[in-house]
Amino acid sequence: MKSRNGKILLGLSVAAFLGPFTQTIYTPSLVEVGHYFAVNQFMVNLTISLYTFVLAANQFFIGPLTDTRGRKATLLPGLLIFMVGSLICFLSPNYFLFLFGRAMQAFGITTGSVVAAAVIGDIYAPAERGKAMSVYQTMVFLGPVLGPVIGSLIASYAEWHWAFAVLAAGALFAYFYNHFTLEETLKKDAAPSRITFKTFTGIVKNRAAFSIMLLGFVQFYGYYIYLVFIPGLLDELFTVSLVMKGLFFVPLTAGIVLGSFLGGKIQTFMRHTSILVYSAYGLGLGVAVFWVLLSLHLITIPALIVFLLVYGVLQGISLPSQITSLVNLFTKEKGTVMGIYNFIRFSGAAIGPLLGSFFFGFGGENALYITLTLFLLCGAFVIQRNSRVLQSKLG
């Protein structure tokens, strides 16, 4: 049984990885994309923004579909749609066809993250879900970081178009692997007859679920704040090359991978609520310390590396407990609750760079990191206030 579950988890993790990986694989070649299609920077950036928007909005459609039609029955067509979208991007001779391909990619690969979490909730016992969720979350967070690395290598030895051929090949592999490995895990007697608007409002109005989703929102907001503003901070404080700037994302990613692994282990002897509260306050206080050191001009390269590593570990520890708690709370609507959760945290990722830019323009780094501290501590306070409710529902 463990061997079978492990094979299923591998295939699901690959499918979940493709979503965020596709988001950033061609970002090193954005200038070349603009030149190829003869479009301005806004239109180039739109290819990324449209992908993110469709990826987030489609969660509301894919989540209920997963709970009513089935896990495998939803995942496999999604992978095929993603593959077709990737081939359109690879072969596209004009900008608008390329944009259409990006929308198809996002629409199809939405199934990856939703189905993965739902199936993990189906096949793993509550005591084992945390470890499995940590593997899944690790793959999700590796995606946006490995994307530019692999994309730059592809562009160095071939044209940037070939990144989409690689994505199509990855989708084909994921399709056949899951076709032969994944069994339908949605039991017909456990499936809701239909998902209605009342189902959505019931999930959002649940105090325990709302507190977890708010936490996911502010933590993804914070994660993308650092992804976007680290390069500018490095230019301001130090003299580093473009290659070295990329290496500063390594401790953040390594911390998340390590934290996700630890988060799965910690769940065996610590309550989910305790993990969520402690890690949430740790993130908020950590950013506060970072802001103080920055204000006092005490940030050094080693200190920045250590901070990014610790920040990543704390966020990584929190994520498996967030997802495990949600699928434990809604046993019949696992796909739907994951769709809502993914939409909310992806919204935090999308809003982070925009709202962060507003705060930075208004009050510089002080406004940026003070507001981030307040947001993170607000999320921690809400999860603490609702921890008893959450624990009573989890049992």
Domain ranges of the chain: 2-194, 199-394
Q: What is the pLDDT of residue 267?
A: 79
Contact 117, 133 (CB under 8 A): yes
Among 9-23, 48-62, 105-119, which is the least confidently predicted range?
Answer: 48-62
Alpha helices in 238-331 (DSSP H): 242-247, 249-266, 272-295, 301-329
CATH topology of domain 199-394: Growth Hormone; Chain: A; (1.20.1250)
Most confident of 132-146, 207-221, 323-337, 343-357: 207-221
Q: What is the pLDDT of residues 25-81, one digit of tens each?
A: 887 777 788 889 998 877 887 887 788 888 888 888 888 888 888 899 999 999 999
C-alpha dist (Å) from residue 175 to 20, 77, 84, 113: 17, 9, 12, 14
Using the structure block, give the residue that is written with the tokens 């967070």: 141
Tell me whether domains 2-194 and 199-394 share a fold.
yes
CB atoms within 10 A of CB 5: 15
Q: What is the pLDDT of residues 193-250, one digit of tens each?
A: 567 778 788 888 888 899 999 999 999 889 878 876 777 788 788 877 655 666 777 7
Q: What is the pLDDT of residue 190?
A: 59
User: Please, what is the average pLDDT of the chain?
Assistant: 86
Q: What is the pLDDT of residue 245?
A: 63
The yes/no answer on whether domain 2-194 falls in CATH 3.30.530.20 is no
